[in-house]
Structure formats: structure tokens, C-alpha cells
Structure 1
């Protein structure tokens, strides 16, 4: 282009360089923010790059609208051929798609350095490039139709609002937007065919809009026929896209990465870096739940939307990322599900004591004095004693029926028929040693819980002599 056409070659080159740099930086920053922390998986990378279109797309549309507006003002009285009409938007498309490819390359190098295999889904990469192309063509048409100073702003904010609305709309509408579901779930992804069909739809509608615009300003029948063919391709993509399941559970056929000892822990291959911490955390919980109805020997990562029931001895866990504290979050969610909540009930304080122990946290004091006595009593038990206690009272714990007498109960007020727990430590308010003012009874002993034992043989005869 020369200076008489509204934008000189030098301006276009400088603008293209600036656009390339801006899109690359913005794409990397936004894609990095979408990546799941600690997860090295090609699907995760592709979804992150596609997610960056939410910001890079409007910027590309604004630049295309700026060039189109200036071109329209310069070519108002000049007849154009189809090639002359489509060449400027195609040049912008090359720059924009190049920036997308550079972003994808940087993230791919990161994945290769960490040892990822297989490579990205071609359909996902094509879908991302096609979506960015749609932003450019939409911006170009806006700038051409309304060659005013605010055209770039209108194109940028308009495309952002439109595609954000589509992505968050009805299930059929969100498939038409150049985006993927947010947040990304590594265990529940769109099938590979869906990416290909979405790319076909986006390429078709982009080509149809561009050629339809060219046919309108050039009055070329051939361009109009090509636009109709592209529209048919877009319709084919939509029909196939809406006929496909929106997402599939990867856990149904995923090749888990597992740690086999001391219990089996299986996660998505991209999250294998979390096996060590997850194994350590859940091994402790498995040891404490051994012998109870909640005992398990296998931990398996599942999607939050997966409703399939786990087998006996298998614990499904939800690990959304490998950010700091991921193992504790997964363990807390699992432990909280072992017993139903007890809102407004004294049993809630006792439940909190057991839950804190299972989560390996400090025991809470509780809102009531009996809760504090129970916490003190439970803290004095050994680890073996606590496990035995949980085996005895797990059903009461799970059904919110724990009572104060389960935590070393006062046998003087409610003497049980048999000792409720042979390993009870002494109470805070009881002293197993004889008082200064009370002479010890020969032959009498006290149990650890404070209840007197039977007299030894011969004890009553000594008392009779005295």
C-alpha cells in the first residue's frame, strides 16, 4: 500500500510488528494464567492457549478495524477486485496466526523440556488459530462498515462481549464460541473430534464472512458462490459439533499413573508430580481408618462431575491442581465426607475432634466444657488406642451420635455393665492415687479409667481379722 490508500506500507509494517509483540506477550501471560499449576499435560497447554484468545482476540479485532477504517476512507471511489479486497485482512491474519503459533511454540518447548510425549491435539491447535481468525475478520468488517475513530474500540469490546456471552450461554451456544469450558478439568475434556468439528465451524464461518464481504463490495458472483460453499462447511461443522457429546470422562479410559506402595495412589499422568505428597497424606488416613467401614487401600483421582460409584476399598479424590496444599485440600474434602455435619448439636464438637485427628491437625477445644474435656482425654490416648476407639465408635461418628461418655465417660454417674473402654487414661478431674486423707485399701486396685477392680483373693479375710 502507498500513502494515498490511508495507511502506508511503513505504518502497516510497524503496526504488524507491534501487534505481533503485543499478541505474543499477552498470549503468554494469559495462557500461563490459565495453566493448571503443576500439571504438565498437552491438553492443558492447548486449552490454555485457546483460553488466551479471550484477550488476544479483541486486540487483533481492534487492529483489524483500525486498518479497515483507514483503507475504506482511501478506497471509497476505487473499484477493487476480489484479491485486492481480501489481501489486507489476509495479511493481518498471517501476523495474528503467527503470534498464536509463537505462543504455542514457547509452551510446547516448556512441555518438551519436562518430558511430555504424544504432542498436542492437532484439532485443538487448529481450533485456536481458526478462532483468532474469526476475531480478525469480525474486526475488519466492523472497521469497514463504520470507518470512524471509535471503530477499533467498538470492534475490540464488541467481540469480547459477544464471545464471552456465547461461552457462558446455553450448552449449544458455548460450542460456537472460540473458547473452551472454564475451569479446565484434566479428567473431563472435550473429545478430540469436537475440537476438529469446532475448527471446521470456525474456519467455515470466517471464510463465509470474509468472502461475503468481498462479494458485497466487488459485486463478484464467484466470491458469493465461494462464500455459500464456506457457509455449507460451517453448517456441517455445527451439525457434527452439536451431535457430539459435549465432554467425556477421561477417567473412563485414562491410563493412570500410580504409586503402588504402601497404598495404591493413581492420578492423571499430567499430575504425577503429586504422587509423593498424596501417597504420604492418604497413607496416614488409611492406617487410621483400617478396620472401619471406611477402610480403603486405593486412592483414585476423579473428575468432580464423575458420578460413577467407586468400588470397595477405592477412594475417589478431587485434585484440581498441584498448587501449595493440594494434598491437604483433597484429604480434608474426603474426611469431611466420612461423617454428616452436626449443626447446632453437641455431637458436632465431638465430630470435630475426630475429624481433626484424621486430618492430622491440632484437636479443637470446642465450644462447650465437655468438648474441651473430650479433646483433652482424646489427646492423651496413644495412636493405637485412637484407632481402636474409632473402630468401636465409627458408626456413631458417621451418624452424628457421639456423646461425652464415649470420651472416657464418668463411670461414677453412669456405671456401665462392663468397662466401656479398657484403655482409658485418667480424667483431668480424677486422680488414681489415694488421697492424703484416705487410707489405701489393701488389695484394691483401680483400672486406667478410674473404676475400682475386684479385690484380690484373700483381701476380705485380712479385713475381717482387723
Structure 2
């Protein structure tokens, strides 16, 4: 009975393993925070943040588990004094270590969810993605602990840490299918796309199968019970099938339709729900450009954000933009520049020499509300700078085709080419003055 009491007290001391909870929580929170800092509030990127947390916390958890196995291995003889299975103690250790890892993972998940909710996250949270991260963390713990049991040496924990860190770090997202093996290496998920559910489900099966295979293999080795061979083979088969499925998954993301949010005045501006905070700034930046383009073929009254794979255009009163970099500084300026560039006839401009493009830059600066640049033709620059806003808009309506084709030249900026003193207006004024004189002379005849 005294020996049994010593074994029970030894098992009770396994609660000291919960010291791993704050360590894993701190490491996981730091990794997830770095991922969330540079992303828009998008639930798919919340899953990516959790995966990044596991990629950093997983090796730490594996090293702590290996250290625990090495430290407790010399006391295994106490368990042999009881009638319990020789695998019971190790399984109990794995249960406690896995529970500690899950407490830290749940804490990190709660932090990520709270931050995404506070920012008004768009899309929906992939529960299967959360499960994939949890399974990957447990797999690290199991693999690290069993490595410590197999090689009970003080250096084992350090070797496990290095090996797990290399497995997580030496993979570049999107370079090969094997980077999808947990812990997966994901890029930041762009708006109008979502994580492929097939990939997340395959990762859950892969981690569950490999974890079960490791545990069953250890129990089979310790207990010599042959009936465990069948579930072991089933676990290995599930892992193999999941590996093949991940290999043929066809990528990590798929396009998804998002119901955009809009602001109706003074322009209708619509963006992805994750970027709703951009509406006031984007509206303020696009309104002056829309006013200057009014009355031309490039006029627009609506601005829409498009996915990155669709071209930016201005057609039918709708201007489209990309906001691929989220709300990083200068996003509104970049958006209106996209609209300005989309007015260009690419083929006509490619066939034009370089100098007409300099005149176009003069007009571009006015359209974007920027300071007029210096151009070699100082006369044209001085003339354009001296015109009023109304005169510039009237001139632009007359010369829009030349602007679009990058065909602006010195002749377009002459006084007689401006709408205020055109040749047609001069001829009309001359005719108006001459006509009364002829009418006065007619009665004398």
C-alpha cells in the first residue's frame, strides 16, 4: 500500500506540468498578435493567426513534453510495482500535457476572436480551421513526449525543439503542397477569397491520424498486445489518405462572394465589409476626381472595390479600385491613382513618344489635386497653371480624347485651343460685329 501511495502521489505531482500553460500562452499570444497586427479584421486571417501561433508554440510544447518525459523516466520503476498497465503512466502524462496545451490554445483563440470581433471582422470563422490548429499542437506534444521516452537524455528536449522549429520554419507558404502539412504555412488571406475547407479538413484528419498512430505504436511496443495492430494500421491509412488529399487539394484559397457595404453620398462608394472604415476617407479622395471627370467619357458616380484578379476600369459611370494592402497609409491616394491610370488607352500610349506623356502628367496632377510638376514646355505649364478651375474642366472636356491617347502636345495648351478663346468663338464674334454694319448700309442703297 505504501508503494501504491507513492505512485499516486507521483501522478498527482503531474499537475506541476500545468506550468506549461502560461509559457505556451505567452508564446502563442505573441505569435498570433504579430499576425493580427498587419491584417484587416477578416475571420480567415484569424485562423491564419492561430496557425502561426501553433507554428511557434508547437515546438515549445514539444520541447516541454520531451523534458517532462526525460525527467520522469527514472521513476518508472514505481509504476511497475502496481498492477496497472505499463502504458498507463505515460498515457496519463500525455493526457495532462495535452490538457495544458489545450488550455493555452483556448486562451489564445479567445484573444484572437475578441480582437477580430472588436474590429468588426468580416466573413465567418472556420471551426475546422480552429480544430486543425488544436490537433497540430497536440501532435507536437505527443511527438515530443514520446521522443523523450524513447531517448531519455538531457539533450533530447533541445534536439526536439530544434527539429520541430525547423519543421515549422523551413517552409515557404505557397511553394509546395507539403507546406500544407500541419502546422501549415499560410499566406495572409486576401479579401474576396477564403480558406479552402477541403484543406482544413485534410489537416484535421492528418493530425488525428498521426497522433493516434504514435500513441498506438507506443502502447503496442510497451504492452505487446497484437490486437492494437489493426487500429494502428487504420490510423496510418487515414494519415496517408489525408496526405494524398492535401497534395491534390489545388491550392489553399478559393474565391468567395462578399456583400459589400456602401456609402451613398456624395458618391456611391462600396468596399468589402472588412474595410468599412475606409468609406469616409475613400469618398473624400474620390469626390474631387469625379467632379473633374464630369462631362467626359471617364465620368463616374460610383466607386467599387474589386478582387485583385479583376482589372481596374472606368465604364458606365462606375470606377473600380483595388485595396489589396488594406488600410495601410496612403490607401485612398493609391485608389484614385488607379482610377486615373485606368483612363489611359494602353495601346495608344504605348505607340506615343515620351514627350506627350509629360503633358499628361501635368493634367494627372490637377486631376489628383497634387502640385503641378515641371515639364520641358514651360509655356504650356504656365498657361495651364494660370487657368481657373472652371476653365480647366471645360478644356479637359474638349481634350479628353487626346489625354486618353497620351497625345497631348503644345497645341492643346495654346490660347486659341482653350474653350475660352477658340477660333470658332472668334469667328462668331466677328460675324456678329459685321452683320449690323451691313444692315445699316442697306437703306442708303
**Equivalence map 1:17-56=2 (5 Å):** 17=19, 19-35=20-36, 39-56=40-57
CA contact (8 A) 1:89 1:140 kept: yes
The DSSP-based 3-state class of the residue aligned with 1:39 is coil
Q: Name the CA shift for 1:228/1:40 in 2 (closer, same or farther; >3 Å).
A: same
Distance 1:46 1:32 in 2: 12
Q: Is 1:172 aligned to 2:181, yes or no? A: no
Q: Secondary structure of the residue that 2:262 maps to in structure 1?
A: strand
Partner of 1:304: 308
Are 1:349 and 2:358 counterparts? yes
**Gaps spanning 5+ residues in structure 2: where?**
438-445
Superposed CA RMSD in Å reads 4.0
Contact 2:314 2:342 in 1 (8 A): no
SS at match of 1:178: coil
Distance 2:90 2:17 in 1: 19
| Partner of residue 432, structure 1 | none
Structure 2 counterpart of 1:197: 202
SS in 1 for 2:177: helix
CA contact (8 A) 2:14 2:93 kept: no
1:132-154 C-alpha deviation (Å, 9 max, x unpaired): 22222333344344443333333
TM-score (norm: length of structure 2): 0.79
Conserved 8 A contact 1:62-1:155:
yes
CA contact (8 A) 2:301 2:317 kept: yes
Taking the aligned partners of 2:156 and 2:385, their CA distance within structure 1 comes to: 70
1:316 aligned counterpart, secondary structure: strand
C-alpha distance in 1 between matches for 2:408 and 2:177: 49
Is the aligned partner of 1:362 residue 2:367? no
Closer, same or farther in 2 for the Cα pair 1:386/1:183, shift >3 Å?
farther
- Give the Å deviation of 1:123: 1.0
**Preserved CA contact (<8 Å) 2:17 2:96:** no
| Structure 2 CA distance for aligned equivalents of residues 73 and 398 of structure 1 | 81
Query: What's 1:254 paired with?
Result: 258
From the superposition, tell whether residues 77 and 219 of structure 1 become closer, same or farther in structure 2 (CA, over 3 Å). farther
Distance 1:148 1:307, change over 3 A: farther
CA contact (8 A) 1:24 1:102 kept: yes
Aligned position for 1:402: 408
8 Å contact 1:123–1:193 — kept in the other structure? no
Q: Distance in 2 between matches of 1:199 and 1:237?
A: 9
Indicate which of 325, 329, 349 corresponds to 1:324. Answer: 329
What is the Cα deviation at residue 59 of structure 1?
A: 1.7
- Matched position secondary structure for 1:161: helix
The match for 1:429 is none
The 1-side partners of 2:290 and 2:339 are apart by: 11
In the alignment, what sits opposite 1:93? 98
2:275 aligns with 271
Name the counterpart of 1:229: 234
Q: Which runs of 5+ in 1 are unaligned?
A: 412-418, 425-445, 461-466
C-alpha distance in 1, partners of 2:36/2:138? 23
Change (3 A) 1:290 1:213: farther
Q: Distance in 1 between matches of 2:313 and 2:373?
A: 33
The residue that corresponds to 2:442 in the other structure is none
CA distance in structure 2 between the partners assigned to 1:269 and 1:324 by the alignment: 19
Give the Cα separation in 1 of the matches to 2:198 and 2:102.
22
**Are positions 1:420 and 2:422 aligned together?**
no
- Measured in 1, the distance between the counterparts of 2:177 and 2:307 equals 22
Q: Distance in 1 between matches of 2:358 and 2:13?
A: 71
1:434 corresponds in structure 2 to none
Number of the residue aligned with 2:388: 382
Change (3 A) 1:117 1:71: same
Deviations 1:141-174 (A, max 9, x none): 4434444333333322322222333453644223
Asked if residue 106 in structure 1 is aligned to residue 107 in structure 2, the reply is: no
What's the CA shift for 1:388?
A: 3.2
Q: CA deviation at 1:212?
A: 2.4
Q: Given that residues 298 and 314 in structure 2 are in contact (C-alpha distance below 8 angstroms), is that contact kept between their aligned partners in structure 1? A: no
Residue aligned with 1:107, SS: helix
Aligned 8 A contact 1:178 1:202 in 2 = no
1:156-210: CA deviation from partner (whole Å, max 9, x where unpaired): 2322222333453644223223235312213212133432332222222222233
How big is the shift at 1:28? Answer: 2.3
* Residue of structure 1 in register with 2:290 after alignment: 286
Question: 3-state DSSP class of the match of 2:320?
Answer: strand
- Give the C-alpha shift of residue 378 in structure 1: 2.6
Aligned equivalents of 2:73, 2:49: Cα separation in 1? 36
C-alpha contact (below 8 Å) 1:167/1:177 kept by paired residues: no
Cα shift readout 1:49-85 (whole Å, capped 9, x = no counterpart): 2222222222222222222333445549987633333
